[in-house]
Amino acid sequence: MQISKIYIDQGVADSPYVASILSRLKCPHVTVHNGKDVYNTISSSDDPVQAGKEVLYLTSNRGPFIKKCPGTRSYRCCGYKILHIGTYCTLDCSYCILQTYFHPPVLQLFLNHTDLFNELDTLFSKKTVTRIGTGEFTDSLIWENFTDLSSVLINYFADQSCAVLELKTKTTAIDRLQYIKHNRKTIVSWSLNTEKIIQNEERRTTSLSQRLLAAKQCESWGYPLAFHFDPMIIYKGCEKDYQHVVKELFSHVSQKNIVWISLGTFRFAPHLKPVLKKRFPDSKIIYEEFISGLDGKMRYFKPLRIRLYKQMVSWIKDIAPDVMLYFCMEDDTVWEKTMGFIPSDAGGLSKMLDNSAVNHCGLSDNIFQP
């Protein structure tokens, strides 16, 4: 993290977490009485998207910590839940929706952890299988060099039997995960892409080989794993490159230890386009064949998506026929033409993923969502 300044909400100024963070991040800090001061400072920058990555705002979450995944009725959603620990990201991917999702984008870390754990206690008390992760509005592990939150969460999840925590990342910030007694209730997962996309579109992230070596290390520490090929980006020669990624993945980790693999192609809200063009002028990813999807996002034409999906499914299933493989935000037509079935044939996508979590993470066999 390249933090230039820390703003502290007066409501959390006396928190012991603040003192701990300041002792690890040696940079100027100031207490503010109104979060608008932070937002206005970032908004006035020539590049608010970049400015938001360099300023850390320590504050409270004034809404729920546990949220439903913001899916859409038009496409199959996996029933995932989000653990909202903070917002935004210090990594810099050209396609990242967070550049326009927050107005302005601000790197916030929420410190009212008592509220967070109270919500988790309520969730655990329901005794239903739950898949929840911290990697929706941020990268799960970018906070590792100055906060102990991941370690605390892993320990907290280890003591219950109905929920799994997923830590999703493009980093290799795994060192502090080694000696935690996780009881296989935490899945460590990586977003994967081709080396060309990583080098050209995923600034400040780690290479493919570094991610896979980190995954291998976490597997040696007993963690279950997951991987996300999302967004897959179509370009000349991409098929060969994605096939190489699949081969590299299974040469590093055991297919039996993978809880799930997701597939999704590049899609974006129209208002991301001018931001991407300005911040990544050399990027070509928005100049392919797109059509407006049912959710209003721009998507590759369905035949193009299906062609790449068919190849990916074939390459993965040839090596790991039993791995739980699913699409992120696709419709039944795509499922039928690539997988040969639709999720409702197997009880629904949520049920399929819950079953995989039960089988790989040691959840109670008699706990299922109704």
Q: Report the CATH number that the domain containing residue 338 is assigned in CATH.
A: 3.80.30.30
Alpha-carbon distance of 153 to 143, in angstroms, equals 13
Please give the Cα distance from 46 to 315 (Å, whole number): 45
Helices (H), 44-112: 48-54, 98-101
User: Does residue 9 fall inside a structural domain?
Assistant: no
Contacts of 329 (CB under 8 A, 6+ apart): 71, 72, 75, 76, 77, 264, 267, 295
89 occurs within a structural domain: no
How confident is the model at residue 364, as a pLDDT?
78
Q: pLDDT averaged over consecutive 10-residue blocks of the chain (370 residues)?
A: 92 96 94 91 93 96 91 73 97 96 92 98 95 96 96 98 97 97 98 98 98 98 98 97 98 98 96 96 94 91 97 98 95 95 94 96 65
Domain-embedded: residue 36: no
Total structural domains within the chain: 1
Identify the pLDDT of residue 71.
Answer: 65
For the chain, strand residue ranges (E) read 5-9, 29-32, 55-59, 66-68, 81-83, 86-87, 92-93, 107-110, 130-133, 163-169, 186-191, 202-203, 225-232, 258-265, 267-268, 290-292, 298-300, 325-327
CB atoms within 10 A of CB 36: 10
The CA distance from 319 to 115, in Å, is 44
**Is 35 contained in some domain?**
no
Residue 261 to residue 168: CA distance in whole angstroms: 12
Q: Which domain holds residue 130?
A: 61-84+113-361
Global pTM value: 0.96
Q: Is residue 69 a part of any domain in this protein?
A: yes
Specify if 325 maps to a domain. yes
**Rounded to whole angstroms, how far apart are CA atoms 274 and 278?**
6
Instruction: Look up residue 20 and give its DSSP letter.
Output: H
Structure token pair of residue 80: 């995932």
Is the dihedral angle over the CA atoms 93, 95, 97, 102 positive or is it negative? positive
Residue 302: burial class (beta carbons within 10 Å; 0-12, 13-18, 19+): middle
> Residue 8 falls within a domain, yes or no?
no
27 is a domain residue = no
Which residues have CB under 8 Å from 29's CB, separation 6+?
Answer: 5, 6, 7, 8, 22
Rg (CA), the chain: 20
Q: Look at residue 102 in the predicted model and tell me its pLDDT.
A: 87
